[in-house]
Amino acid sequence: MTQEQVAEAARRENVCRILDAAERLFKHYGYAKTNVADIARDLGMSSANIYRFFSSKTDIHHALAHRMMEASYQAAVSVADRKASASERLKDFTLSQFKITVDTMLDEKKVHEMVVVAIEQNWPVIEAHIERLRLLVERMITEGIAAGEFREQEPALAAECFMSATVILCHPQLVAKCLAKSRISTPEDLIEFGLRALK
């Protein structure tokens, strides 16, 4: 390993440690109540050391949001890459995104607070994540059309419409409101409704 590679590995390890500590503290105390000094204290280092890797608490927040979105995207890719019908993959894709939203953004109330800040401020990481998911949906629809499973249609538009029809299952604020009320439809019902529109 070269000296540069050793330095880069050390940098990545420090960044990971800082993000892990920040996430732990955000979950426990909430995003608004946690500051850089708290993160530094948790790690037994100075705030100045944190600022060597991140310019601000917002910068840490951006990196955490990116890490969360990447985990969600990788789960989506694993569903999209499966050997199954397009309908089955779209259903499992949407249900897995719903589960991730409930498990990691709603069950952890403080994480939800952090995600809401990112959404309300239109962070580029959120917009990029939505676009990456839309491209996966478009790919699955294209494959469904090629297999004769879905009717001929514009895949990009169909993907946009399918995601708009099922957004209540993936958007943290909408899911939170949805779960708080008794509803007639289930997530499966809504997904089946969206799939019928593609056929």
Q: What is the pLDDT of residues 77-132, one digit of tens each?
A: 999 999 999 999 999 999 999 888 887 765 556 566 677 777 777 788 888 989 99
Q: CA 155 to CA 176: how far, in whole Å?
A: 30
Q: Quick one: DSSP state of residue 182? A: -
Task: Assess whether 46 and 30 both reside in one domain.
Answer: yes
Return the pLDDT at 183: 67
CATH code where residue 36 lies: 1.10.10.60
Cβ-contact 141, 195 below 8 angstroms? no
Task: Assess whether 72 and 10 both reside in one domain.
Answer: no
Return the pLDDT at 60: 92
CATH code where residue 105 lies: 1.10.357.10
Q: Which domain holds residue 40?
A: 1-54
Q: Which residues contact 128 (CB under 8 A, 6 or more apart)?
A: 69
Return the pLDDT at 107: 55
Task: Assess whether 80 and 146 both reside in one domain.
Answer: yes
Task: Assess whether 11 and 99 both reside in one domain.
Answer: no
Q: CA 87 to CA 199: how far, in whole Å?
A: 9
Given CA atoms 117, 123, 125, 126 in this order, what sign does their dihedral have?
Answer: positive
Q: What percent of the chain has pLDDT over 90?
A: 53
Question: What's the domain count of the chain?
Answer: 2
Return the pLDDT at 110: 56
Return the pLDDT at 41: 95
- pTM here is 0.82
Q: Quick one: DSSP state of residue 180? A: T
Return the pLDDT at 106: 59
**DSSP per residue over 26-44, as a string?**
HHHH-TTT--HHHHHHHHT
Cβ-contact 119, 126 below 8 angstroms? yes
Task: Assess whether 24 and 90 both reside in one domain.
Answer: no
Q: Which residues contact 93 (CB under 8 A, 6 or more apart)?
A: 76, 79, 80, 136, 137, 140
Q: CA 142 to CA 111: how far, in whole Å?
A: 35
- Provide the strand spans (E) within 45-191: none
- Which residue has better confidence, 159 or 5? 159
Task: Assess whether 4 and 96 both reside in one domain.
Answer: no
55: tokens are: 């310019």
Amino acid present at 103: D
Domain edge (last residue) among 14, 37, 54 = 54
Task: Assess whether 50 and 76 both reside in one domain.
Answer: no
